[in-house]
C-alpha cells in the first residue's frame, strides 16, 4: 500500500461521523482472538490517548489553534472510544495489564530493531528490558492471586522470565533524561518511533494509576504502585528523546502522521475482519486529520508542511514475536544503568540513583516478593508439581 502523507486526502473531517451505537462495537473474544490483535488494540488506544493529550496541551498554549484542534480532537476522542471499547468485560484489569506489558515488549522490540539512530535504539532497548521484567512480575501476581496462567493472554509469543529486575529500575529523575534526536537530521522513522513509544508508555502509566486502587490485595496495590512509578520514569525518558525545539505546529503534524503510520501498520497485519475494518476506516480518518492540519500549517502558520513531514511512510511496525531478539538484549544489556543521559555499567551508576533506590526499597520490594522463587509453568505453579501432562 503506497500512502502519500502530503497528498492523500483520506476522509474529510466533516464527513467523519459517529453514533453512540457506533462507539460501542462488538468486543473481541478474550479466549479466541490472536494476542497480536489485542496488542494492536491496546497500542492504538495509547496512540489516540497521546494525541488527545497533545491536542489539549497545544490548545492551552495557542489561542489561534484552539478551534482547529477542537474539531479534530472530537473525532480522535470518538475513535479512541471505539478502539478501547473493543476490549471485553471478561478481561480483568490484571489480565489487561498482562496484555499491556506484552505490548510494551513486542512493540518496543520491533521499534528498537528497526530504529536507524543507534542512541535512540539503545534507549528503546533499555526500556524494553524493564517492561520485560514487569510482565514476569505481573504474571506471578496473576498466578498467585487468582491462579491464572498469564500465557492464556500472551499465547506463547512472549517469554515470561525476569528482565532487569524491577527493584533495580528505580533511579534518580536526572538519570531518566536522555539526549533528544535532532529534528533537522533525524530520520522520519526515528520521530515516529519516539512518538509511538511515548504514547504506549504514557497510557500504561495512566492505566496502572487508575487500576492500582481497584485491587483489594495489599501486595497487588504495592506492585501497581511500584511499576506505575517505573512507567512514569519511562515517560520521562521517552519524552526527552523528542526534540523540544519542534514547534507546536510541527508536533501536531507529527502526531497526525504518526497516527497514520500506526493505523497503516495495524492494517498491514490484521486478520480479524471486524477489527481490520476499524483500522481501515481510521486510517482514512487520520489521513483526513493530517490534511486538515496541513491546511492549517499552510494558511495559518504560512509554512510548508513538507519541511516537517516525509512524503512516504516507512515499513510498518513488525507485529510478531521478537523472542530471540529480546533474549539477546537481555544477555547483553541486563547490567546497563544510566548516568544522566549516558548508558554505563552497573558499577558506574551514580550515588543519587543508588540512594534513591535504597530508600524506596527500604521496607521491602513488592516486585521481588510477588515473584519469590516463581517460575512460569503451563497452567501456573499450582499444577507444576502435580505430574500433569506436558502439553507441548
Integer Cα distance of 41 and 60 in angstroms: 29
Min CB(209)–another protein separation in Å = 20
- Find the binder of another protein among 3, 18, 34, 121 (CB under 8 A): 34
Residue 57: CB minimum distance to another protein, A: 36
Touching another protein, residues 312-341 (CB under 8 A): 321, 323, 327, 330
Residues 65-124 that bind another protein (CB under 8 A): 88-90
Answer for which of 118, 218, 273, 387 binds another protein (CB under 8 A) is: 218
CB-wise, 8 or 381, nearer to another protein? Answer: 381
Task: Tell me if 152 contacts another protein by CB under 8 A.
Answer: yes
Interface with another protein includes 156 (CB under 8 A)? yes
**Residue 97 Cβ, how far from another protein at the closest point, in Å?**
17
Does residue 162 belong to the site contacting another protein (CB under 8 A)? yes
How many residues sit close enough to another protein to count as binding (CB under 8 A)? 49
**Residue 108 · residue 131 · CB < 8 Å:** yes
Which of 112, 105, 170 has its CA nearest to residue 138?
105
Question: Under the criterion CB under 8 A, does residue 380 sit at the interface with another protein?
Answer: no
Residue with cell 508439581: 385
Q: Is 369 in the site for another protein (CB under 8 A)?
A: yes
Sites of contact with another protein (CB under 8 A): 27, 29-35, 88-90, 144, 151-153, 155-157, 159-162, 165, 167, 217-219, 222, 321, 323, 327, 330, 364-366, 368-378, 381, 391-392
Amino acid at each position: 500500500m503506497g500512502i502519500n502523507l502530503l497528498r492523500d486526502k483520506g476522509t474529510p473531517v466533516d464527513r467523519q461521523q459517529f453514533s453512540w451505537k457506533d462507539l460501542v462495537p462488538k468486543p473481541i473474544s478474550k479466549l479466541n482472538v490472536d494476542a497480536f490483535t489485542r496488542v494492536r488494540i491496546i497500542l492504538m488506544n495509547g496512540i489516540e490517548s497521546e494525541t488527545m493529550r497533545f491536542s489539549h496541551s497545544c490548545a492551552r498554549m495557542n489561542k489561534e489553534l484552539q478551534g482547529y484542534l477542537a474539531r479534530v480532537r472530537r473525532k480522535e476522542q470518538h475513535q479512541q472510544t471505539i478502539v478501547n471499547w473493543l476490549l471485553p468485560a471478561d478481561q480483568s484489569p490484571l489480565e489487561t495489564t498482562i496484555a499491556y506489558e506484552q505490548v510494551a515488549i513486542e512493540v518496543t522490540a520491533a521499534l528498537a530493531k528497526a530504529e536507524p539512530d543507534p542512541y535512540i535504539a539503545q534507549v528503546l532497548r533499555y526500556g524494553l528490558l524493564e517492561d520485560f521484567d514487569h510482565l514476569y512480575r505481573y504474571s506471578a501476581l496473576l498466578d498467585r492471586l487468582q491462579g491464572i496462567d498469564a500465557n492464556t493472554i500472551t499465547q506463547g509469543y512472549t517469554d515470561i522470565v525476569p528482565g532487569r529486575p524491577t527493584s533495580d529500575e528505580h533511579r534518580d529523575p536526572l538519570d531518566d533524561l536522555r539526549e533528544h534526536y535532532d529534528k533537522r537530521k533525524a530520520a522520519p522513522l526515528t520521530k515516529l518511533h519516539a512518538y509511538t513509544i511515548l504514547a504506549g508508555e504514557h497510557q500504561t502509566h495512566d492505566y496502572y494509576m487508575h487500576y492500582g486502587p481497584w485491587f483489594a490485595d495489599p501486595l497487588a496495590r504495592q506492585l501497581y504502585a511500584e511499576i506505575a512509578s517505573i512507567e512514569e520514569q519511562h515517560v520521562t525518558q521517552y519524552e526527552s528523546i523528542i526534540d523540544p525545539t519542534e514547534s507546536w505546529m510541527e508536533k501536531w503534524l507529527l502526531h497526525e502522521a504518526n497516527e497514520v503510520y500506526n493505523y497503516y501498520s495495524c492494517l498491514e497485519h490484521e486478520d480479524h475482519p471486524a477489527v481490520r475494518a476499524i483500522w481501515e476506516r481510521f486510517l482514512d480518518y487520520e489521513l483526513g486529520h493530517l490534511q486538515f492540519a496541513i491546511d492549517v500549517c499552510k494558511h495559518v502558520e504560512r509554512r510548508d508542511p513538507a519541511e516537517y513531514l516525509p512524503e512516504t511512510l516507512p515499513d510498518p511496525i513488525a507485529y510478531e514475536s521478537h523472542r530471540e531478539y529480546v533474549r539477546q538484549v537481555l544477555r547483553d544489556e541486563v547490567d546497563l544503568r544510566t548516568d544522566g543521559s549516558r548508558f554505563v555499567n552497573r558499577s558506574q551508576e551514580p550515588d543519587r540513583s543508588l540512594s534513591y533506590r535504597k530508600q524506596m526499597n527500604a521496607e521491602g520490594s513488592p516486585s521481588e516478593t510477588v515473584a519469590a522463587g516463581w517460575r512460569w509453568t503451563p497452567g501456573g505453579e499450582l499444577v507444576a508439581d502435580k505430574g500433569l501432562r506436558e502439553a507441548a
